[in-house]
Every structure is written in C-alpha cells, then in structure tokens.
Amino acid sequence: DVIDYNERFSERVIRGFGDLEVKKKLNEMFEVRYPVRETEEK
C-alpha cells in the first residue's frame, strides 16, 4: 500500500530528525561539561 509506505517513511524521517536533535543536544552538553580545548590548540 502506497499510503502505508508513505506513513512509515515519514515516521522514520521524523524519528531520524529527532535522533539528530538529541545527538546535537548531547554533544553540546558533553562539550560544556568536558570542553575539548586541547585538540584545538594542537
């Protein structure tokens, strides 16, 4: 069914965007807690 496929596809895309946002927020929190300045200086 095309409609069923589209619904599943949009769900997967939305879930993917959600994961990206979560990863971004986790990275920001991680950087704030553990600043990675040593690698930037080298």
- Count CB neighbours of 1 within 10 A: 7
Q: Which two tokens stand for residue 25?
A: 């927020």
* Spatial distance between the Cα atoms of 29 and 17, rounded to a whole number of angstroms: 18
Output the DSSP codes for 3-33.
Answer: HHHHHHHHHHHHHHHHHHHHHHHHHHHHHHH
Tally of structural domains, the chain: 1
pTM value is 0.42
Mean pLDDT, range 10-30, rounded to an integer: 85
Domain interval for residue 18: 2-41
Mean pLDDT, range 35-41, rounded to an integer: 64
What average pLDDT does the structure give for the chain? 80
Q: Which two tokens stand for residue 31?
A: 């950087």
